[in-house]
């Protein structure tokens, strides 16, 4: 399964594991890379020295390529980037910010740079900034998302029509059928989050993993657009947000309700009542916890079988 993405990252399959906060540590990243995909360490929930520890452990656990996902909203981003350089990471995915800010710096260090976008406009900006590839994330995705609410099904062909760099589809993909659909639409590879969040190697709490299995269609919603759009499971915390919206809240009031460490509380500590439970719409077809290796094998096998049937 050789194409521009497998060649760019030197991996076996064009499957990238999302760098999710509180989920994507060294265990998951190394397991995905060992299985032929590209594992990503999610730096967004890590202090710089914690990231260093995860990178070092990942290097010991795999001799395959892996990368780090860095949200540009991170307050200590300079420190994270220094750790990445010092530890010799060769692949960096950036998100939630202007790609111009760090792309040249990273490229000068001979690092492959990929930026996450949610629209054609930002895809073009990322290409102009000099990134090696882009992740086009549709409205279906879990966690922080774009304000445009463009679905993966519409976003991929629109972006593919406008850019000349490889396109990775994200949002609403969890099996071989989704991967094939994304690639028919023009994607060169896929980034998968929710399915790997429910993996054995995911660092998420078992309560959160069970929630992923329990989620049905309509059980998640994109909210908090005034701050940073995020798709959440409709638990008690989510309902408190909606009740506050009935009062036409200010940004400050929304921030006060959100507080601090809500995602950690829900995803990592397993508080299903007061925590922020970020997961994608595709959770409705995730029915079991499996190893990263099993997940990739299943996706690739289904992809190949379905591809031959057309």
Distances (CA, A) of 209 to 86, 200, 202, 206, 278: 34, 9, 9, 5, 11
Measured torsion, CA atoms of residues 71, 72, 73, 77, in degrees rounded to the nearest 10 = 100
What pTM was estimated for this model as a whole?
0.95
- 140-186 residue pLDDT tens: 998 777 778 899 999 999 999 999 999 999 999 999 999 999 999 99
- Asked if residue 187 lies in contact with residue 168, where contact means CB atoms within 8 angstroms, the answer is yes
Give the closest residue to 190 by CA, choosing from 37, 29, 22, 31. 37
State residue 32 phi and psi, 5-degree precision: -65, -45
Strand-pair partners of 143: 231
Instruction: Find the mean pLDDT for residues 123-128.
Output: 97
Calpha distance 167→184 (Å, rounded): 12
pLDDT value, residue 152: 95
Instruction: Pull the structure tokens for residue 176.
Output: 């071989």
Q: Strands 230-233 and 220-223: what pairing?
A: antiparallel
Distances (CA, A) of 157 to 14, 191, 202: 18, 16, 31
- 211-227 residue pLDDT tens: 999 999 999 999 998 88
State residue 36 phi and psi, 5-degree precision: 105, -5
- 228-264 residue pLDDT tens: 888 999 999 999 999 999 999 999 999 888 877 899 9
- Asked if residue 238 lies in contact with residue 225, where contact means CB atoms within 8 angstroms, the answer is no
Give the closest residue to 46 by CA, choosing from 297, 268, 298, 229. 268
Q: Coil, strand or helix: which one is 272?
A: coil
Calpha distance 120→243 (Å, rounded): 34
pLDDT value, residue 178: 98
């Amino acid at each position: 399964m050789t194409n521009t993405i497998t060649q760019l990252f030197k991996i076996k399959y064009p499957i990238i594991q999302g760098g999710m906060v509180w989920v994507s540590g060294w265990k998951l990243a190394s397991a995905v890379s060992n299985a032929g995909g590209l594992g990503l360490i999610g730096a967004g929930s890590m202090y710089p020295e914690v990231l260093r520890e995860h990178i070092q452990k990942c290097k010991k656990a795999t001799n395959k390529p892996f990368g780090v996902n860095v949200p540009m909203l991170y307050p200590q981003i300079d420190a994270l980037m220094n750790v990445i350089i010092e530890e010799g990471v060769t692949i960096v995915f950036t998100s939630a910010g202007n790609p111009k800010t760090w792309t040249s710096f990273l490229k000068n260090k001979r690092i492959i740079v990929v930026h996450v976008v949610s629209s054609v406009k930002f895809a073009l900006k990322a290409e102009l900034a000099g990134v090696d590839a882009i992740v086009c994330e549709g409205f279906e995705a879990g966690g922080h998302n774009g304000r445009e609410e463009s679905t993966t099904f519409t976003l991929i062909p629109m972006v593919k029509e406008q850019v000349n760099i490889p396109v990775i589809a994200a949002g609403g993909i969890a099996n071989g059928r989704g991967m094939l659909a994304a690639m028919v639409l023009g994607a060169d590879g896929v980034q998968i989050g929710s399915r790997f969040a429910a993996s054995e190697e995911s660092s998420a709490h078992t309560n959160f993993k069970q929630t992923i299995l329990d989620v049905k269609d309509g059980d998640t919603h994109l909210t908090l657009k005034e701050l940073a759009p995020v798709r959440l499971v409709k638990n008690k915390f989510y309902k408190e947000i909606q009740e506050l919206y009935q009062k036409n809240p200010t940004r400050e009031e929304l921030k006060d309700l959100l507080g601090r460490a809500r995602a950690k509380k829900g995803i990592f500590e397993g508080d299903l009542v007061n925590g922020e439970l970020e997961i994608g719409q595709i959770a409705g077809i995730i029915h079991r916890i499996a190893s990263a290796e099993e997940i990739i094998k299943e996706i690739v096998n289904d992809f190949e079988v379905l591809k031959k049937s057309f």
